[in-house]
Structure 1
């Protein structure tokens, strides 16, 4: 912006014309780049040592949000402070990432509380440029045996724990709270109510990250097809959805991951997705799962 004003002054461009140029430039940029481009970092060894290296990769790839895992057993502030400070310089927001299917159950609320306390205590002891900007949950309770036995009961507990956790985080630090959800969550109903579970989650979380794990943007089983119902639902609710894709080596089928695909294949498909959603208010951006496999495949 400042550079454009200097150019306008140098070449005597009228203020009104300059405004038109700026508006057009912003519009073009907003159409060609997602608002959010995120990734998960589960393997903390990837950020230890010199944090400028991973941050450089993230910056080159246009990432502006990182979900950084916190391990209760090994948590030490040092590596987090160094990485987040370097990420802040690159305008990358870092969210504290925590995940456990058992966090959906009321009997495990103490563990969920502990996660919230670690984030709160950490943020209180560091500078603003070293602090987490949000919290990201990866709970996935449908992986529990209890889900098969009584999914409504698990849903109720999951919802109660979500409300409890979000209230805690908002009261103590007012951080953004987002979470990972399966692409089919709109097919699940809130127990005893005519409301989709995805609609309920949107009412409470600031943003949903949808695990739309496919390696083709288009087609009946493509990324857009399986994500569109919830992206549309988000627009109706005035919320947004980050569409996540996979790049890890998985046994769930080659169609669920970009692992092993030709160089540039993932970016090509994500460009197609971005073009399809570029004017969609319910679409916030994309997320790549995960950083470790992404950087290894890029070598």
Structure 2
């Protein structure tokens, strides 16, 4: 996840499904978390279980088969499976926007491990130079990447997206709608330090939730716990763990009838665990 993004702007359905039929809001306190670090498997899974985390987005290096990290991930799966905690392979690089070969090679590596129930993609094409120099070509390449990754594996594909993506079009097509056509679900980087009300996690996510409902795709909200010097109102780093819990509960309560709502993911394990009370 990038602080630059925030400073710049104040069971899933198949990728081919359309419409909101059958979608219901996720149960209250449905939680996921990003895991970018190499913390011990036992520590991570124990924390996830205590905090009712049902999905972990586990960062997987392209070199996982040779860098010695595979054993930790195998242990994580062994510990997570009895607790019904799903592991999703987390990966991405802005360069993958145009370097599709690197992205697909990473995906093949992920699939070969047999450890993951889905792909969680964090590419962030708006961090490339092309976003300002040639938006249409950059968006087109990103959408092509999603198509290729969806077609290259049977694993569900979920993408991290900025809350403001629906403000952009390519040709006559809305970029957010085009992303939803190509993935199974999205997680919004809805980074704010309040759950509901003006300029909150929920308020800045309304566009995606409406588009997700129309497309029949799940939309997960994201909460930040890293300290962001350029956007203090985007993170719970100063507010602490109690405030985070209370604000996320407000989101749960406010989305009981929001069909596309898929719960909340917390970014990220290390800083979430270190939050002051």
Q: Indicate the residue corresponding to 2:125 in structure 1.
A: 141
Q: Structure 1 residue 101: deviation in Å?
A: 0.5
Per the alignment, residue 118 of structure 1 pairs with 109
TM-score of the pair, normalised by structure 2: 0.86
Of 204, 213, 231, which residue of structure 2 is paired with 1:226?
A: 204
Give unmatched runs, 5+ long, in structure 2: 1-24
Query: What is the rounded CA distance, in whole Å, between the counterparts of 2:240 and 2:94 in structure 1?
Result: 33
Between the aligned partners of 1:147 and 1:68, the Cα distance in structure 2 is 27
Query: TM-score, normalising length from structure 1?
Result: 0.80
Could you say which structure has the higher helix fraction?
1
CA contact (8 A) 1:177 1:207 kept: yes
Name the CA distance, whole Å, in 1 between partners of 2:174 and 2:105: 30
Higher RCO (CA < 8 A, seq sep 6+): 2
- 1:70 aligns to what? 60
Distance across 2 between alignment mates of 1:39 and 1:115:
21
CA RMSD of superposed structures (Å): 1.6
1:272 to 243, 250, 261: 250
Aligned length: 250
Return the alpha-carbon distance in structure 1 between the equivalents of residues 241 and 158 of structure 2.
30
Q: 1:127-174 CA distances to partner (integer Å, 9 max, x unpaired)?
A: xxxx201011000010111211111110011111110111001xxxx1
Q: Which runs of 5+ in 1 are unaligned?
A: 1-29, 124-130
Structure-to-structure mapping, 1:1-299, within 5 angstroms: 33-34=28-29, 36-44=30-38, 46-47=39-40, 51-73=41-63, 74=67, 76-105=69-98, 108-123=99-114, 131-169=115-153, 174-189=154-169, 191-193=170-172, 195-297=173-275
Distance 2:139 2:26 in 1: 37
Larger Rg: 1
Post-superposition, which runs of at least 4 consecutive aligned residues in structure 1 deviate over 4 A? Answer: none
Deviations 1:86-129 (A, max 9, x none): 11121110001111001111xx1221111111012111xxxxxx
* Distance of 2:112 and 2:215 partners within structure 1: 33
Kept after mapping to 2: 8 A contact 1:31/1:279: no
Q: SS of the residue aligned with 2:199?
A: coil
| 1:208-246 Cα shifts (integer Å, max 9, x gaps) | 000000001223211111001110111111111000010
Q: Report the Cα offset of residue 75 of structure 1.
A: 5.8
Q: Structure 1: how far apart are the matches of 2:68 and 2:147? A: 25
Cα distance in structure 1, aligned partners of 2:27 and 2:215: 25
